[in-house]
Amino acid sequence: MSHDTPFMTTIIGGFVLAFIFGAIANRCRLPTLIGYLVAGILVGPRTPGFVASQSLVPALAEIGIILLMFGVGLHFSVKDLLSVRGIAFPGAIIQIVLGTVLGALMGIVVGWSLGGSIVFGLALSIASTVVLLKALQENRILETDRGKIAVGWLIVEDLVIVLALVFIPAAASSYSLGSSAANPLSSFVSQCVGFDIGISGLIIITLLKVFAFIGVMLVFGRRVIPWILHMIFYTGSRELFRLGVLAIALGFAYGSSQLFGVSLSLGAFFAGMILAESELSQSAAQESLPLRDAFSVLFFISVGMMFNPDVLISNPILLIMSVIIVVFGKSFIAFMVVIAFGRSVATALTIAASLSQIGEFSFILAALGVELEILPDQARDLIVASSIISIILNPLIFILAESLQSIIIFRCSKLLRKTSGCMESDDNTCIEQDAQEEVLMESVLEQKEVDLQKTDLCDHVVLVGYGHIGKIIVQNLKAAGISILVIEDSEKRIEELRSSYKSSFNGKY
């Protein structure tokens, strides 16, 4: 029996090269995702040597995206989603519109058609799910208020993509056929009602399907998903429980996509978010983590495989313009939008850094535009190259954002000293202000009133973070009779702490 199949060679070759170059990147103190991208370029069709399957890798990478969004949903309740709707929904819409305008203007200047320019601009305005969530996790801000806003922003972008993938083919059909008859859904509905519903009717149908999906998941899914997992859990089989978690994540993602036309990642996110209300959510997250990390690596390999080196030589100016729009243009727009909504500078910088890249949704739009012959191949190559460059730069953008926060704190510190009449040389009068300065700067940065929390504990252990490992530490210290103070920034975990222990602070880090 021959073992040399495209599936086996793609999986083995992809993982081995990703491990090698990921380790090299880590050794050079670079983000491991850079190594994964290099591995993808090497196994791509435009470089000599081994070529991985161009159909298998993206399909396997989609599993990683599904598990990633399912894992995020497990730490993101319905209450969390509703709490950020006031900024995530309007903010994301404004950022997408203005970002699309920037990209479209570039396309018009280059000489592309209006439709192609709009698709190009939309592709540059949509951030990658994998890169955004990976950045939030690595910077440990996924479960903070800033992280919740970023995830809410991402969900709105997902919904926009759902509408765009319906609208673009319908619009292209209308221009070529003069009606929406080329679309099977609109054609069927038009026959039922006796007249052509047009693009607007198709968009209304899509919105109704999205609302139906949300309603079904919140009403039906809220009862079924936890019930299924509890039934599996009480069998006592860990293997069956792990399989059940994967079946729920993949099954509900696929079913939602087929029945309601939403993206696979959106279906997985809602499945995880509903399961988050169950006490088994932590166990489900632990079981899905290894496969999630392994398959998400394939996403970066698939991105590298699409890279065309010729674009670096043939269109360097256009590539630089595209990268500037992605990394700086839409990030600046997002920053100003968040500030305009009265949020803190720290939140604005986090959102701006999170959105300074593009990924899988941009590739889908680019492929659709080329297939419909409204987007030139040149634009698709620019989108892919811009994605790789922006993904490589994204960790550096987060470092820059942290540096800007430090600069703001320093400037505010000098301003407070000056306005309070405290001179650096006057040590006696500045001692008390120095003690309060850090708290005051955090207040300025977060735009909140200063509320110092006090504790009567002494000779105690201070623990920052109450995740899975934190819970084990707390249990062991309590069993040993050691006093402990826990600092946590997740509202859900704070409530859990306060129900069991009195000594817990709501902190930001």
267, 387: one domain: yes
Phi/psi at 179 (nearest 5 deg)?
-155, -175
pLDDT of residue 4: 59
Residue 69 belongs to some domain of the structure: yes
23, 71: one domain: no
Strands 484-488 and 504-506: parallel
Residue 407 belongs to some domain of the structure: no
- The torsion of the CA quartet 50, 51, 53, 54, rounded to 10 degrees, works out to 160
Residue 432 belongs to some domain of the structure: no
Residue 256 belongs to some domain of the structure: yes
- Average pLDDT over the chain reads 78
Residue among 481, 72, 488, 40 at smallest CA distance from 269: 72
Residue 189 belongs to some domain of the structure: yes
Residue with tokens 């309601």: 260
Domain range enclosing 47: 1-53
pLDDT of 350 higher than 70: yes
Is this prediction's pTM over 0.75? no
The CATH code of the domain that includes 379 is: 1.20.1530.20
* Average pLDDT of the segment spanning 448-456: 48
154, 132: one domain: yes
Distance between CA 259 and CA 206 in Å, rounded? 12
23, 88: one domain: no
390, 491: one domain: no
| pLDDT single digits (tens) 196-244 | 566 676 777 777 888 888 888 888 888 888 888 888 888 878 888 888 8
pLDDT of residue 194: 60
299-308, 333-342, 390-399, 433-442: which range is least confident on average?
A: 433-442
204, 114: one domain: yes
Confidence of residue 429 (pLDDT cuts 50, 70, 90): very low
pLDDT of 455 higher than 60: no
Residue 425 belongs to some domain of the structure: no
267, 353: one domain: yes
Confidence of residue 168 (pLDDT cuts 50, 70, 90): confident
CB 383 within 8 A of CB 322: yes
Q: Which amino acid is at 438?
A: E
The listed range with the strongest mean pLDDT (77-86, 251-260, 282-291, 436-445) is: 251-260
Q: Residues 465, 288, 258, 176: is their CA dihedral positive or negative?
A: positive
**Tokens found for residue 375:** 């987007």
26, 83: one domain: no
134, 40: one domain: no
118, 264: one domain: yes
Q: Give the total number of structural domains in the chain.
A: 3
205, 132: one domain: yes
- The torsion of the CA quartet 269, 271, 275, 280, rounded to 10 degrees, works out to -90
SS3 125: helix
Residue 496 belongs to some domain of the structure: yes
Q: Which amino acid is at 40?
A: G
User: Where a domain ends, among 399, 424, 443?
Assistant: 399
User: Where a domain ends, among 399, 428, 452?
Assistant: 399
Residue 257 belongs to some domain of the structure: yes
User: Where a domain ends, among 18, 33, 53?
Assistant: 53
Confidence of residue 100 (pLDDT cuts 50, 70, 90): very high
22, 69: one domain: no
